[in-house]
């Protein structure tokens, strides 16, 4: 499993195409409080249910608040047969907010 930091994700956001997805696996409440523009929210315990829908993407960047849930969700998706998963396992929305990078509410 490829693991990157939230800083690396921030550097990639501007170059992402339609075949790339940022998957925010925090709770709906956390997502509503602020998220990365263009990201999709599916809580980490529900990602297996959308695995089939995610197969059409080139890369799926899975992130959460600090990295723990992103790792669990990434493992679930890999176990469901996906090979396009990039886990944002070092940092997450907590650091994104600390850095004052743009968020959507």
Average pLDDT on 75-88 reads 98
**β-sheet bridge partners, residue 61:** 22, 86
* pLDDT tens-digit readout, 36-78: 999 999 999 999 999 999 999 999 999 999 999 999 999 999 9
Is the distance from CB of 97 to CB of 34 less than 8 angstroms? yes
Q: What's the pLDDT score for residue 20?
A: 98
Give the Cα separation of 48 and 28 in Å (integer): 17
**Domain 2-98, CATH 3.40.250.10 — does that match?**
yes
Rounded mean pLDDT, 26-41:
97
Cα distances from 58 to residues 52, 65, 95, in angstroms, run 14, 23, 25
25, 44 contact by CB (below 8 A) = yes
* pLDDT classification of 99: cutoffs 50, 70, 90: very high
């Amino acid at each position: 499993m490829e693991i990157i930091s939230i800083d690396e994700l921030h550097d990639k956001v501007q170059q992402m195409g339609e075949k790339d997805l940022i998957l925010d696996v925090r709770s709906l409440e956390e997502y509503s409080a602020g998220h990365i523009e263009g990201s999709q929210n599916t809580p980490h315990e529900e990602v297996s249910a959308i695995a089939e829908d995610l197969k059409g993407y080139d890369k799926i960047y899975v992130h959460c608040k600090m990295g723990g849930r992103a790792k669990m969700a990434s493992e679930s998706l890999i176990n469901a047969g996906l090979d396009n998963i990039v886990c944002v396992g070092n940092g997450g929305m907590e650091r994104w907010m600390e850095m004052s990078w743009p968020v959507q509410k």
